[in-house]
Amino acid sequence: MLSCEWTAATDHPTVHIRHHVAEALHALGFAQDRIDDVVLAASELAANATEHAEGPYRLLLHNAGPTYLLECHDHSSTLPPVDPRPAPPTHDSPLSEPDADALLTQLGERGRGLAMLSHLSNGRLSAQTTPTGKKVLVTLIRDARKA
């Protein structure tokens, strides 16, 4: 298991996370393309926690046989949406043009992190409250071709 900790005062926490996760995965024998995916997921978890929650923060990487679990802890009890895709408008309540423009503008610049995590994990993204805040979990298959 790998554990990385940081606070809001840590300089460039995502750089720190990427380095330690990549090192651990190399030692575990991951293929480089899968290392890139897991490092990207870990970096996104760290960035989201740092931006949207209070610290201190902790990222854990667990080896669970054919899968690996990334677990990011923070001190906010506000859970992110587990299905990050925006709900499509219904015929009864379509988005007005200004609302649609605002949504497209926002999604163009931000808001893709959870969708990316969901894609990298084949939908194995979840969040749970803890006694001190929450943890966001991403389960990744060691060999993505076997997903």
How confident is the model over 27-48, as pLDDT tens digits?
878 888 888 888 999 999 999 9
Interval 103-115: pLDDT, tens: 445 444 456 788 8
Q: Is 57 exposed, middle or buried (0-12, 13-18, 19+ CB in 10 A)?
A: buried
pLDDT at residue number 141:
80
- Global confidence as pTM: 0.76
Reduce the DSSP state of residue 132 to 3 states and report it.
Answer: coil
Closest residue by Cα to residue 116 from 37, 14, 36: 37
pLDDT above 50: residue 84 = no
